[in-house]
Amino acid sequence: MSKVEILEVAPRDGFQAVKAFIPTETKIALIEELAACGIARLEIGSFVSPKAIAQMADTSDILKRARLPAGVRIQVLVPNAKGLQLALAAGVREVGWVISVSESHNRSNVRRSVDESFREFADAWQGLGAGKPRLRFSLSTCFDCPFEGRIAEDDVVRAVERVIAIAPDVEIAICDTTGRAATDHVGTLFARLLPAYASKRVAFAYHGHDTYGLGVANAIEAYRQGVRVIDGAAGGLGGCPFAPGAAGNTATEDLVFAFEHMGIKTGIALDKLLAVADRIAAVAPDQAGGKVRTVPRRRVLAGFGPATRGIPT
Ligand code: COA
Ligand code: ZN
């Protein structure tokens, strides 16, 4: 059976884009509701400087208090060695380290050169010895940088090689941080990366934003190239505060609709997800996105194929 795994990032990428502090109780309730939709993986926050992103300051509190079904995989994002230590101290078993391919976005995001970030990652990761947590490595600005424009594929290839040299067991997320990737660019980059680097130890994921309305098309293209982990944010919130011009993540409900419509299973209950997506969007309505939420629900939920015959408009 064809299937795809969705990593839900609304609690991290989504909420970090919202200026006004979202009460911890609200975050916990929404995270628990997301998990109840059948979502298998959740990025529930980040250990970053509260001066950089105050919205994420309650991540360890959320980790302590959220009640999630057994088997749901939880990860947090970290940008430096201190973040990794805090994540481990909080008992997290999956971390997402982030470095940008482009020099200027990396400096804007984590105030270090790309070389400095890779040196810090190598020291921190190799310093852990045995019993390391599971690693998702997010390579930001793989297609487009808000300051440098289109990114050369060779630069992404070099970054992927650096990651694998330091951490041979890894899931590497190829991120369209600004949402400006053209669909053919997604295709050519993955067509180059997957045959060369995917293995039993190295998996690839796609993380997209929907700034120009290409989020779903780009995710499907990534899938067609062989990627089986796709990031989405329910309600379409999101965006790196250090990437001017980036809009929200591709909405998870749009991804679920598109994949299920093609017969590719996500394991996610779309009716429940839409209800949670509405509540997440209500947290910051002017920043929310996605298309499927705007369609009358009875039409969306009528099913696919012959089941949709005769649905009233
Ligand atoms: N978690 C919590 N606090 C942290 C931290 C972390 N991972 N890393 C640093 N800090 C604290 C330091 O203790 C210090 O606190 P103090 O001023 O009270 O002593 C302060 O933050 C500054 O630390 P410093 O090491 O000088 O960092 P910096 O100012 O050079 O900023 C980063 C570097 C990486 C910490 C910061 O840019 C950051 O958190 N960026 C993340 C951005 C992000 O999340 N982007 C979106 C996701 S892609
Ligand atoms: Zn993002």
Q: Residue 1: what pLDDT?
A: 80
Ligand 1 in contact with 11 (CB < 6 A)? no
The reported pTM is 0.97
CA-based nearest residue to 292, from 236, 238, 214: 236
Structure tokens of 222? Answer: 């990534």
d(C-alpha 245, C-alpha 39), whole Å: 29
313: pLDDT confidence band, cut at 50, 70 and 90? Answer: low
Q: Residue 218: what pLDDT?
A: 98
240 flagged as catalytic? yes
Q: Give the pLDDT mean for 127-136.
A: 93
Nearest CA to ligand 1 atom 17: 51
Nearest CA to ligand 1 atom 32: 110
| Position with higher pLDDT, 311 vs 239 | 239
Please give the helix or strand (H or E) that residue 136 lies within, else none.
strand 134-140
Ligand 1 in contact with 95 (CB < 6 A)? no
Q: What is the residue extent of each domain of the chain?
A: 5-301
Residue 312 has pLDDT above 70, yes or no: no
Tell me: the pLDDT tens digits for 51-74?
Answer: 999 999 999 999 999 999 999 999
Q: Residue 186: what pLDDT?
A: 98
Q: Residue 10: what pLDDT?
A: 98
Beta bridge partners of 95: 76, 135
CA-based nearest residue to 176, from 147, 131, 201, 207: 207
**DSSP for residue 301:** T
Beta bridge partners of 118: none
Q: Residue 94: what pLDDT?
A: 98
Q: Residue 176: what pLDDT?
A: 98
d(C-alpha 246, C-alpha 240), whole Å: 7
Tell me: the pLDDT tens digits for 193-204?
Answer: 999 999 999 999
Out of 3.40.50.1980, 3.40.50.1100, 3.10.105.10, 3.20.20.70, select the CATH number for domain 5-301.
3.20.20.70
Q: Residue 117: what pLDDT?
A: 98
Ligand 1 in contact with 117 (CB < 6 A)? no
Average pLDDT of the residues of the chain: 96
Looking at residue 180, its amino acid is: R
Tell me: the pLDDT tens digits for 243-267?
Answer: 998 999 999 999 999 999 999 999 9
Q: Residue 17: what pLDDT?
A: 94
HEC readout, 194-258 = HHHHCCCCEEEEEEEECCCCCHHHHHHHHHHHCCCEEEEEHHHCCCCCCCCCCCCECEHHHHHHH
Q: How far is CA 14 from CA 11, 296, 298, in A?
A: 6, 24, 27
- What is the percent of the chain where pLDDT is above 70? 99
**DSSP for residue 21:** P
Looking at residue 120, its amino acid is: E
Q: Indicate the top mutation candidate among 9, 12, 49, 140 to test ligand 1's pocket, ranked by most ligand atoms within 8 A of CB.
A: 49
d(C-alpha 164, C-alpha 18), whole Å: 33
